[in-house]
């Protein structure tokens, strides 16, 4: 069946049933939840096979748990979200009434990246289902084993006019973007996001773009330094840095680079002991997803070295191209025009950039495209308030990394080059709903006073209203 034919089945059902009762939405969410619980081990194994090695513990925690959290939040609150909302009526229009009716948009298209193929499918899908929509999902060609498994599992749990899953390469992705979705959400790189938006614009399809960019971690002078290093390294090395909100570079006080490297090495030794003993199997540390990305990261390193940067390995393990294992490394004395400070890294390489005062760190961030995430480590409320008020980022975690994405009561999304639109929780429900305004006129109202022919009474009313 062609992509168009598969889309048409969803489209026809969405138009035949524009209002989806809560019982049907709940049933779909519960089926999705059961699918994850029943097949979580197989899903983790498939993702690991696609990466070459991906910690199954990380998959269970970062993808299965967080996906279930999104579903459970929607199950708990979805019935309330879909209730009509009474809005105030301006005094001159009373006793009429205003309300907003949340309605399903129809068919939501979801384009999923390879780095978190389960979470970044189920997260938006849970929001779309809670809002009463049907969905069509395009999975990444870089995770084909997971893609084949997830497509089969969805077919077993849902009819093809509820949810349909598509696998394939770039040509399939282009055709997918050109379909007449009622909303399209894409998670991936900024460069591909531009192309997605361009193609979708031909049909005026509204888009949510969750992109990436260079998310900074700022260590203030008064921060608990060892805690800051531990949490930055932890956030950086989950999925070997292949995370859209991973700390991309660190801004730290001048002269503390050696302190950072020493503390980071201690964290790596404690959390990934196999990276300091090549006799051990490196089960908990994820491989780079494919040869192309491994070569790209090596090229970033080579460019930085060639421009005078110093590379400090954070473990004794050496890169293994055959297994695509790239151990963590910090970089100092990095020239501003190097590729590693210009491009999103998406790997376990961490440039350290020094500053003299916090204003200089803020200026460094603001001189660059707005990031998807920002991390600040500080004790002083004055310093925290200064950074929060003087920088713009998609989301912020203070005194930790990554965790704002796991808060279902907070919106998640980018700003500027790091994306547009937000979802998660109630914001996700609203993102995939049409919030229809309804004005209900009262039998007795004053509108007749404003009808032609206009005379002295009308002039008197206008004089009173416009002042």
Active site residues: 210
- Residue linked to tokens 């084949």: 148
Contact status, residue 31 vs residue 39, Cβ threshold 8 Å:
no
The structure tokens listed for 90 are: 């301006």
Q: Would you call 68 exposed, middle or buried from its count of C-beta atoms within 10 A (0-12, 13-18, 19+)?
A: middle
- Three-state DSSP class for residue 397: strand
Instruction: Tell me how far apart the alpha carbons of residues 301 and 328 are, in angstroms, rounded to a whole number.
Output: 12
Other beta carbons less than 10 A from residue 444's beta carbon: 8
CA–CA dist 383, 361 (Å, integer): 12
For the stretch 386-422, what's the b/e string if a residue is b when 16 or more beta carbons lie within 10 angstroms of its beta carbon? bbeeebebbbbbebbbbbbbbebeebbbbbbbbbbbb
Helix (H, G, I), strand (E, B) or coil at 232: helix
- CA-CA distance, 393 to 341, in Å (whole number)? 17
Which pair of structure tokens corresponds to residue 345?
A: 């890294």
The gap from C-alpha 111 to its chain's centroid, in whole angstroms, comes to 12
Element (H, E) at 295: helix 291-306
Q: Is the dihedral of CA 168, 171, 172, 173 positive or negative?
A: positive
For 77-106, b where at least 16 C-beta lie within 10 A, e where not — what string?
Answer: bbeebbeeeeeebeeeeeebeeeeebbbbb
**Whole-number Å distance between alpha carbons of 61 and 59:** 5
CB under 8 Å to 452, separation ≥6 — which residues? Answer: none
β 207-210/183-187 pair status: parallel
């Amino acid at each position: 069946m062609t992509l168009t034919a598969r889309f048409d089945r969803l489209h026809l059902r969405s138009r035949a049933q524009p209002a989806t009762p809560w019982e049907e939405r709940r049933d779909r969410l519960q089926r999705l939840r059961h699918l994850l619980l029943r097949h979580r081990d197989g899903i983790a194994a498939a993702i690991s096979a696609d990466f070459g090695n991906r910690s199954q513990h990380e998959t269970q925690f970062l993808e299965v748990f967080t996906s279930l959290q999104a579903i459970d939040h929607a199950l708990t609150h979805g019935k309330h979200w879909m209730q009509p909302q009474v809005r105030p009526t301006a005094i001159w229009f009373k006793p009429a009434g205003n309300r907003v009716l949340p309605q399903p948009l129809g068919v939501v298209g979801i384009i999923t990246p390879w780095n978190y193929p389960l979470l970044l499918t189920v997260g938006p899908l849970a929001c779309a289902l809670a809002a009463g929509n049907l969905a069509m999902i395009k999975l990444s060609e870089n995770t084909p084993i997971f893609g084949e498994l997830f497509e089969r599992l969805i077919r077993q749990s849902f009819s093809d006019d509820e949810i349909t899953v598509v696998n394939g390469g770039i040509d399939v992705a282009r055709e997918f973007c050109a379909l007449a979705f009622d909303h399209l959400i894409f998670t991936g790189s900024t460069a591909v996001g531009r192309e997605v938006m361009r193609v979708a614009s031909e049909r005026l399809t509204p888009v949510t773009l969750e992109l990436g960019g260079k998310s900074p971690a700022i260590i203030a002078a008064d921060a608990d330094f060892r805690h800051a290093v531990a949490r930055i390294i932890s956030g950086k090395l989950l999925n070997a840095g292949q995370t859209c909100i991973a700390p991309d570079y660190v801004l730290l006080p001048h002269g503390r680079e050696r302190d950072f490297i020493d503390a980071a090495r201690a964290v790596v030794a404690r959390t990934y002991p196999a990276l300091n003993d090549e006799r051990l199997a490196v089960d908990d540390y994820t491989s780079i997803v494919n040869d192309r990305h491994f070569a790209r990261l090596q090229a970033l390193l080579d460019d930085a070295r060639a421009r005078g940067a110093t590379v400090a390995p954070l473990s004794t393990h050496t890169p293994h191209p055959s297994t695509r294992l790239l151990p963590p490394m910090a970089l100092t004395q990095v020239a501003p025009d190097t590729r590693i400070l210009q491009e999103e890294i998406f790997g376990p390489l961490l440039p350290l950039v020094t500053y003299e005062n916090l204003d200089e760190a803020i200026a460094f961030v603001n001189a660059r495209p707005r990031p998807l995430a920002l991390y600040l480590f500080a004790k002083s409320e004055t310093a925290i308030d200064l950074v929060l008020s003087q920088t713009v980022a998609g989301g912020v975690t203070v005194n930790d990394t990554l965790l704002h994405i796991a808060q279902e009561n907070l919106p998640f999304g980018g700003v500027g080059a790091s994306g547009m639109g937000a979802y998660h929780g109630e914001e996700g429900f609203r993102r995939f709903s049409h919030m229809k305004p309804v004005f209900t006129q009262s039998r007795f109202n004053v509108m007749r006073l404003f009808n032609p022919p206009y005379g002295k009474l009308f002039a008197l009313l206008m004089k009173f209203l416009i002042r």
